[in-house]
Amino acid sequence: MSHSFYYMARDQLQALINELRARGYQCIGPQVRDGAIVYDSLADCTQLPRGISEHQSPGRYVLSENNSQRYFSWANGPQAIKPYVFAPRESLWRCEKDNTGQLRFTDLKPAPGPVAIIGVRACDLAALYIQDKHFLQEEKKDPYYLARRQKLFLVAVNCTHAADTCFCASTGDGPRASYGYDIVLSELDDGFLAHGLSDKGLELIKQLSTSPPTETQLQQADEEIQHAARRQTRRLPSRNLKQALFNNLEHPRWEEVAKRCLACGNCTSVCPTCFCHAEDEEPALDGSGSEYFRQWDSCFTQGHSYIHGITIRSTTAQRYRQWLTHKLGSWHDQYGRSGCVGCGRCITWCPVGIDITEEAAAICGENIDA
């Protein structure tokens, strides 16, 4: 592999952004806003969270400054790339009614320009792969998702820091980015190792001023990734948890966790693989037109399981159980793997700090490694 890595000095990151912008890409990158590292429009490296680290624990996320010159010495923030492909709210179509009662439907499929996301982590690439499987199945592809997905250029960054809530090593999805990106960067003290996976990625790297990496640099980059993996204390068993969960549908822990769970849906919103959404519309007051849209929904809402006169999951215990058995269990039936990529967001961003690894362990009991 080593032959395909290029070393570039730190200033080449700006050059990369410039190249992307010159090719018409809107660049999106991490930056500090409202006390967290979030993705937003990026024109300049100075916007990146240089010298910032973050500390995460169940229900808690705090930024702090470090002395490092590095741009990416932090683990993931509250959002992944999900909102850039699966929009939190988007119009699907419009319908107009003329005075003869005729209906005219207009497709509102977006026509986005190319977008480059910089700083994508391994867990998020894994999640994107899962969402691709979901939204772009053989027959009925989701045109809204597809339109954006096709325009994505992904610059991944290998994780050198794991948060306390990260457990991607145990799901096998990180911390090293191994697929699904155009370019991957490993950050070093004075620059980056870059590797291009797609033709577009390779071509771009060639425009930058690079040199062959030294053996030490390669080793250091590798060591840092392994260190990030070793640092992870949380884990899910890497085997298929489906049977263990479905064998325990009456476990008392469901009721117990329901006492703490707010059923607020934060876990599903921050989860990079959750795909549930609801459709609704906004009719003009006079009835002349109506805009049909969809927006993120969650298996923690009442509407998620409502059929006339019955809410199939009316209690929080049932809703939490639906979430966990789906995410870690029946997801295997649907997509051949677990729906969890170990990013730990649902642990950090649960307002009351419920920990998926802890709940899964409690419910699967000693079966966990069986």
Partner 1 sequence: MPNPYLPYEAKIIERIQESPTLFTLRLRFTDPVIHKDFRFEPGQFNMLYLYGVGEVPISIVSDPQDEHMLDHTIRTVGRVTRGLAALKEGDRIGVRGPFGRGWPLAHAEQHDVVVVTGGLGCAPVVSVIHYMMRRRERFGLINIVQGVKHSSDFIWKERYDQWRKAPDTEVLVAADAGESLWPWHVGPVTGLFDDLKFDKDRVIIMMCGPEGMMRVVVKYMLAQGVDESAIWLSMERDMHCGIGHCGHCQYGGKFVCRDGPVFCYKEIVDLFGVKGF
Partner 2 sequence: MKPKIAVHKFASCDGCQLAFLNAGEDLLTLAGMVDIIHFTEAGPIDEETEVDIAFVEGSITTPADCNRIQRIRKNSRYLLTIGACATAGGLQALRNFANAKEWVASVYAAPEYIQSLATSTPIREHVKVDLELWGCPVSAKQVLRAVHDLLFGVTPKVELDKVCMECKRQRHVCVMVSKNIPCMGPVTRTGCGAICPQVGRGCYACFGPAENSNTGAMGVWLQGLGLMPEAIAKRFLFINSEAPEFRAAGTQWKSK
Residues near ligand SF4 (CB under 6 A)? 264, 266, 270-273, 327, 340-346, 351, 356
Where does this chain touch partner 2 (CB under 8 A) — which range of 100-108, 139-147, 253-261, 360-368? 253-261
Q: What is the closest distance, in whole angstroms, from the C-beta atom of residue 32 to partner 2 in the complex?
A: 10
- For partner 2, which residue of 101, 102, 103, 259 counts as binding (CB under 8 A)? 259
Classify 310 as helix, strand or coil.
strand
Q: Of 183 and 328, which has the nearer Cβ to partner 1?
A: 328
In degrees and rounded to multiples of 5, residue 308 shows phi and psi of -45, 120
In degrees and rounded to multiples of 5, residue 9 shows phi and psi of -70, 165
Q: What is the closest distance, in whole angstroms, from the C-beta atom of residue 310 to ligand FAD in the complex?
A: 8
Cis peptide before 175 (omega within 30 of 0): yes
- For partner 1, which residue of 11, 40, 223, 279 counts as binding (CB under 8 A)? 279
Q: Of 19 and 281, which has the nearer Cβ to partner 1?
A: 281
DSSP string, 28-79: EEEEEETTEEEEEE-S-GGGS-TTEEEEEETTEEEEEE-S---S--S---S-
Where does this chain touch partner 1 (CB under 8 A) — which range of 122-130, 159-167, 318-326, 342-350? 318-326
Where does this chain touch partner 1 (CB under 8 A) — which range of 24-32, 201-209, 215-223, 331-339? 331-339
Distance (Å, whole) CA 193 – CA 184:
8
- For ligand FAD, which residue of 105, 179, 246, 306 counts as binding (CB under 6 A)? 306
The site that binds partner 2 (CB under 8 A) totals a number of residues, namely 45
Beta carbons of 332 and 242 less than 8 angstroms apart = yes
Beta carbons of 153 and 115 less than 8 angstroms apart = yes
Q: Of 176 and 195, which has the nearer Cβ to ligand SF4?
A: 176
Q: Which of 192, 77, 166, 171 is nearest to 129 (CA)?
A: 171
The site that binds ligand FAD (CB under 6 A) totals a number of residues, namely 3
Q: Which of 71, 66, 51 is nearest to 11 (CA)?
A: 71
When CB distances are held under 5 to 8 angstroms depending on the partner's kind, the choice from partner 1, ligand SF4, partner 2, none that residue 95 binds is partner 1
Element (H, E) at 292: strand 289-296
Distance (Å, whole) CA 48 – CA 14:
11
Using CB atoms within 10 Å of the CB of residue 192, give its burial: 0 to 12 exposed, 13 to 18 middle, 19+ buried.
Answer: buried
Residues that bind ligand FAD (CB under 6 A): 306-308
Residues that bind partner 1 (CB under 8 A): 92-93, 95, 97, 101-105, 107, 109, 134-135, 137, 140-144, 246, 249, 275-281, 283, 287, 290, 294, 297, 299, 303-309, 312-313, 315, 317-318, 321-322, 325-326, 329-334
Residues that bind partner 2 (CB under 8 A): 33-36, 38, 59-62, 78-79, 83, 88-89, 259-266, 269-270, 280, 282-287, 295-298, 301-303, 314-316, 348-349, 351-352
